[in-house]
């Protein structure tokens, strides 16, 4: 085991997966010579050559559209979108082709590509470097979505995405790219898509989260020590979704608060709340609450703390639910 930062674990996954499978290649803006603006692809061009880690022109739809053609030629392309909000030009290719092409061929041709991007707020960045766009992706049929919250999962989920036969979007919480070192298995390490992780066990209330909201929920759980025993469920992938783990935890604690940094309306928290309403209503002792961003453009960073879910907001929701 090595102690790695999340972004180092991602880089480690690339080194392992490119060495393991000659069909895997990386393309994106600044991924080669610079090794990525966050250094996630550092050393790949030097080690595997300029044809397996390619600096492309600055064109997100072109990157993803070319990746579709690369799949047809037998490659497993891993594309990088430099930032969350820079991925929007690629939504055209994602929705019209990436999520549909396998279906369009009657299941006869596979498109094992990966779209990965740093996402999320709290990083004191200029406009459009802070979005949490998971809903767009998870709402697109034919596409899977994974979101790690620890260095080990960042490595394992990326490896799973690269090996998956379907298109997978991996959203990497940049707020915690370099926040903490923790143990990451060396060599091949795969975390299967669709299995949630119980980040913390508790009896009174469940906090459901993904990405950078997981460590936030863990801090909220500590804050609430003495008042309530709080469970934290890290979903790790939104599709496939580990519904079993969600329902099991809801049934155990009877109280659920869902935390997401994306805007509120139609966010993934709403989907989770609907599942709980359909399948766990008799297990619940109170309403499913959401702590989310707001239905406004992501703010300039001087006031971004007021937008992002905080320990205080999460703790307040828990107290409200306990008092229900």
Partner 1 sequence: MARLAHDESELRRVIDEDREVEGLGEQELLDLYRSMVLLRTYDERSVVYHRQGRIGTYAIFWNHEAMQAGAVHALAERDWIFPSYRESAIGLLRGIPAATILHWWRGHPAGWWNPADYNVASICVPIASQVPHAVGLAWGKKLRGEDAVSLVFFGDGATSEGAFHEGANFAAVLQTPTVLFCNNNQWAISTPLSAQTRADALADKAVGYGMPGIRVDGGDVLAVYEATREAVERARGGGGPTFVEALSYRTAPHATADDPRVYIDLERVEAEKQNECLGRYERYLRRLGVLGDDLDASIKNEAAELMRAGIAAAEAEPEPDPELLFEHAYVDPPPNLREGWDG
Q: Which residues are catalytic?
A: 129
Fill in the per-residue mask, 12 to 41: x = in contact with partner 1 (CB under 8 A), - = not in contact.
-------------x----------------
Cis peptide before 67 (omega within 30 of 0): no
Q: Is 102 in the site for partner 1 (CB under 8 A)?
A: yes
Out of 30, 188, 223, 243, the residue judged to bind partner 1 by CB under 8 A: 243
Give dist(CA 145, CA 107) in Å, integer. Answer: 20
Of residues 89 and 185, the one with the C-beta less far from partner 1: 89
Residues 36-75 binding partner 1 (CB under 8 A) are: 51, 56-57, 59, 61-62, 64-75
Out of 122, 194, 263, 267, the residue judged to bind partner 1 by CB under 8 A: 194
Residue 149, helix vs strand vs coil: coil
Best CA proximity match to 61, nearest among 87, 34, 29: 87
Out of 103, 294, 300, 324, the residue judged to bind partner 1 by CB under 8 A: 103
Give dist(CA 123, CA 101) in Å, integer. Answer: 36
Q: Are 71 and 103 in contact (CB under 8 A)?
A: no
Closest contact distance (angstroms) between CB of 49 and partner 1 is 10
Of residues 50 and 127, the one with the C-beta less far from partner 1: 50
Of residues 78 and 212, the one with the C-beta less far from partner 1: 78
Q: Is 274 in the site for partner 1 (CB under 8 A)?
A: no
The residues pairing with 172 across neighbouring beta strands, listed in sequence order, are 118
Closest contact distance (angstroms) between CB of 116 and partner 1 is 18
Best CA proximity match to 293, nearest among 140, 132, 81: 132
Cis peptide before 240 (omega within 30 of 0): yes
Give dist(CA 251, CA 238) in Å, integer. Answer: 20
Give dist(CA 137, CA 171) in Å, integer. Answer: 10
Residues 105-144 binding partner 1 (CB under 8 A) are: 105-110, 141-142, 144
Q: Is 92 in the site for partner 1 (CB under 8 A)?
A: yes
Alpha carbon distances (Å) from 30 to 57, 132, 165: 9, 22, 26
Q: Is 239 in the site for partner 1 (CB under 8 A)?
A: yes
Binding residues for partner 1, rule: CB under 8 A, are 25, 51, 56-57, 59, 61-62, 64-75, 89, 92-93, 96-97, 101-110, 141-142, 144, 164-166, 194, 239-241, 243
């Amino acid at each position: 085991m090595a102690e790695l930062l999340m972004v180092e674990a991602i880089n480690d996954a690339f080194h392992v997966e490119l060495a393991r499978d000659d069909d895997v290649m990386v393309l994106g803006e600044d991924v080669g010579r610079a090794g990525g603006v966050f250094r996630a692809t550092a050393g790949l061009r030097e080690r595997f050559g300029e044809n397996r880690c390619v600096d492309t022109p600055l064109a997100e739809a072109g990157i993803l559209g070319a990746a579709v053609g690369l799949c047809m030629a037998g490659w497993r392309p891993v594309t990088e979108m430099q930032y969350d909000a820079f991925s929007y030009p690629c939504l055209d290719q994602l929705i019209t082709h990436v999520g549909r092409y396998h279906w369009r061929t009657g299941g006869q041709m596979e498109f094992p590509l990966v779209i990965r991007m740093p996402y999320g707020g709290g990083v004191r960045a200029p406009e459009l470097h802070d979005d949490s766009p998971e809903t767009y992706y998870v709402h697109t049929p034919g596409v899977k979505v994974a979101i790690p919250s620890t260095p080990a999962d960042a490595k394992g989920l990326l490896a799973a995405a690269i090996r998956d036969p379907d298109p997978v979007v991996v959203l990497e919480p940049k707020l915690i790219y370099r926040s903490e070192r923790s143990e990451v298995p060396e060599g091949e390490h795969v975390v299967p898509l669709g299995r949630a992780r119980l980040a913390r066990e508790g009896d009174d209330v469940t906090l459901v989260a993904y990405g950078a909201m997981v460590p936030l929920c863990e801090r909220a759980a500590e804050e609430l020590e003495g008042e309530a025993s709080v469970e934290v469920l890290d979903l790790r992938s939104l599709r496939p979704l580990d519904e079993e783990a969600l329902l099991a935890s809801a049934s155990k604690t009877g109280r659920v608060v869902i935390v997401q940094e994306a805007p509120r309306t139609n966010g993934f928290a709403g989907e989770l709340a609907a599942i709980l309403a359909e399948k766990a209503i008799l297990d619940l002792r109170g309403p499913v609450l959401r702590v989310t961003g707001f239905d406004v453009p992501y703010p300039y960073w001087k006031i971004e703390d007021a937008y992002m879910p905080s320990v205080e907001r999460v703790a307040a929701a828990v107290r409200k639910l306990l008092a229900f």
